[in-house]
Amino acid sequence: MQDYFYNLADFINSKLQSEEVYLCELIGEQSDFVRFNQGSIRQAGKVEQYYLKIELIKGQYHATGELTLGLATEIDQQRITALLTELREKRSHLPADPYLLYATEKQSTESIGKNQLPDAEEMITDILPTIKNHDFVGIYAAGGMFTGFANSFGQRNWHSSYPFNIDWSIYHNTDKAVKSAYAGFDWKATTFQDKITQSVAQLEILKRKPHTIKPGKYKVYLSPSAVHEILLLLSWNGFGLKAQRTKDSSLLRMLTEPRQNLSTKITLLENTTEGIAPAFQSQGFIKPPQVTFISAGRYDSALVSPRSAKEYQVNTNGGNEEEIPLSFDLLAGQLAVKEVLKTLDTGVYVNNLWYLNYSDRVACRMTGMTRFATFWVENGEIVAPLNVMRFDETLYQLLGDKLVDLTTEREFIMDTDSYERRSNRCANLPGALVEDFTFTL
């Protein structure tokens, strides 16, 4: 596919008119999908698709279009030619873009991922015996993910990776379920079996009479999945230069108030090197291996898209257009997972959060609900499932003054979104033990 894409890029180059520049990006996948319900396969299939996005530029005028590739050279070339004609027509009606910025220095790269995935049939033989006799509902997705970039300056970039992700719930009844997931690049049947064993053990606890607590402050353990939901909320406006300069960032107080920091235990990165997304973006700029957002509790750097770089006269660091992190990496702490319940002693064990939103954006105060398997813990032992609770807490307490510690073990989490194509967002996160966590109802 890499050679086919580069040949199409050469073809686009041959069709350029005077003073035109093109940027093009390929996004594709070769994926296996399996849907499970009640511990059985309900749907299975393969998806192979490739999209080509072309941006046609002349001076500060540009227009963008996208087409689906059929992998038949003559037909794809005809469709590209038609798209270029359409883009020229559109461009003629558009105003000049004062913030248009793209790479003109040739920086070609190649990152070929190692395919360590077993065949889907082999994977299923590991999964089915483990989930039989359980009301297991989930989706397995795996296979190659491909991104390419090319421009009229001769730059060529290619990235491929072969991740898998299986996301599931095991149900007791109604809304009583245990949700979990397993993602990575090297499938290990024993790891999946251990996760199912843990899910089943928690499911047995869900069968007990639910416990209700009064609104108030409690000691809480947040699983890596729960921490992930918090970071996803922050990602929409917390880490981009544009949001900072327009005063829309939920982390603005970390920039404007010297004493408003997080715990020194918090170091949060965009770790492109260990993620799934490519180390280049759609304007041809190369990303650094890491961008440090928060270092030992203090705000460090922002994601800077090319448009923001042009608008605010700074250097870009390869941020995407939305300036949203794709590869979160929160450094581990000193609390061993096996010691979590003992250290929690009496409090709440939260596996999942959902419906998160800001209750006070300026204060970085967020609200949301517990979901699925949330448990009441007494004397270091899970004793009962906990009825659904709403929390309302500021990040500066949650990961600041009230953070006890982060776990030494971290979990690799993949975004499960696959509406148009499989997402390349991921995170490597520990769990967090927090004091005085506020439940409001």
| 343 three-class SS | helix
Q: Is it the case that residue 426 has pLDDT exceeding 90?
A: yes
- Predicted pLDDT of residue 175: 74
**Could you please report the per-residue DSSP string of 246-282?**
TT--TTHHHHH-TT----TT--EEEEGGGSSS-SB-T
Domain spans, the chain: 2-206, 216-439
pLDDT tens sequence across 28-85: 999 999 999 999 999 999 999 999 999 999 999 999 999 999 999 999 999 999 999 9
Q: Is it the case that residue 423 has pLDDT exceeding 90?
A: yes
Q: What mean pLDDT value characterizes the chain?
A: 95
The CATH architecture one would assign to domain 2-206 is: 2-Layer Sandwich (3.30)
- Predicted pLDDT of residue 312: 97
Between CA 422 and CA 138 the distance in angstroms is 16
Between CA 22 and CA 421 the distance in angstroms is 24
Between CA 132 and CA 333 the distance in angstroms is 36
Provide the 10 A C-beta neighbour count for residue 416.
Answer: 16
Confidence label for 120 from pLDDT (cuts 50, 70 and 90): confident
- List Cβ<8 Å contacts ≥24 apart for 79-84: 80/8, 80/11, 80/12, 80/15, 80/52, 80/54, 81/15, 83/54, 84/12, 84/15, 84/54, 84/56
**pTM listed for this prediction:** 0.95
- Predicted pLDDT of residue 371: 85
- Predicted pLDDT of residue 38: 92
Residue 36 CB contacts under 8 Å (≥ 6 apart), including other chains: 42, 127, 131, 136, 137, 138, 139, 140, 168
297 or 420, greater pLDDT: 297
pLDDT tens sequence across 145-154: 999 999 999 9
Between CA 411 and CA 194 the distance in angstroms is 14
pLDDT tens sequence across 196-252: 999 999 999 999 999 999 999 999 999 999 999 999 999 988 999 999 999 999 999
Confidence label for 419 from pLDDT (cuts 50, 70 and 90): confident
pLDDT tens sequence across 78-111: 999 999 999 999 999 999 999 999 999 999 999 9
* Buried residues in 55-83 as b, exposed as e (16+ CB within 10 A): bbbbeebbbbbebebeeeeeebbebbeeb
Average pLDDT over residues 4-23: 97
Q: Is it the case that residue 174 has pLDDT exceeding 80?
A: no
Average pLDDT over residues 339-366: 96
- Predicted pLDDT of residue 121: 87
The closest alpha carbon to 319, from 384, 381, 238, 393, belongs to: 238
| 83 three-class SS | helix
Q: What are phi and psi of 20, to 5 degrees?
A: -80, 145
- Cα Rg, the chain, nearest whole Å: 24
Residue whose tokens read 């990040």: 395
